[in-house]
Structure 1
Amino acid sequence: MRQERIGHTVTLLKDGRVLAVGGLGKKLQPLSSVEIYDPVRDRWASTVPLPDVRFSHSATLLPDGRVLVVGGIVHGAISRSVLIFDPRKPAWRA
């Protein structure tokens, strides 16, 4: 990964790439950054960030290839928000 993180999610995408979302950075600061690992090129690349910083959330791959991100800690409070990431666009939707 380009940015060290804990409390993030890692999701295997349908095309074999890996999506790393949010978490806490090296100094335990909440992150909105999102990265995708391409195993063919053995390279991490940044993609569209989360709308807000988020850690300790859950993520799951949907049958259509999008990724559902739920809950976690957002701006210091427990969140019930739901986001969907479409890796084909790439874009986030609430």
Structure 2
Amino acid sequence: MRWRRRSSWIYTGLGLFAIALFLMVMRYLGVVFETNAKAQLALHGSTAGVDALLHLAAICNWVRWRWIANLLLLASAVTIFGLGRDWWTARH
């Protein structure tokens, strides 16, 4: 039973790491889409494709780096708590 409680903390922490990684990728794609749209806008002018890229970039840029940092900090704390749980609990 003790192993299940410990592993649930570890899996929760790893799941939070995965969510943070997904948010980092979204933020990066937002920057890439925005840069690409601005380059196309400078070369070809305003088109439906440029407008769609700018809209997609705006959606991806809703993610804030502070959210990612807080999520990474929480994931680290939960994972370390799960990994270190056996070391400070009393053994029977």
TM-score with structure 1 length normalisation? 0.19
Larger Rg: 2
TM-score with structure 2 length normalisation? 0.20
Structure number having the greater helix percentage: 2
Structure number having the greater strand percentage: 1
Which structure is higher in RCO with an 8 Å CA cutoff and minimum separation 6? 2
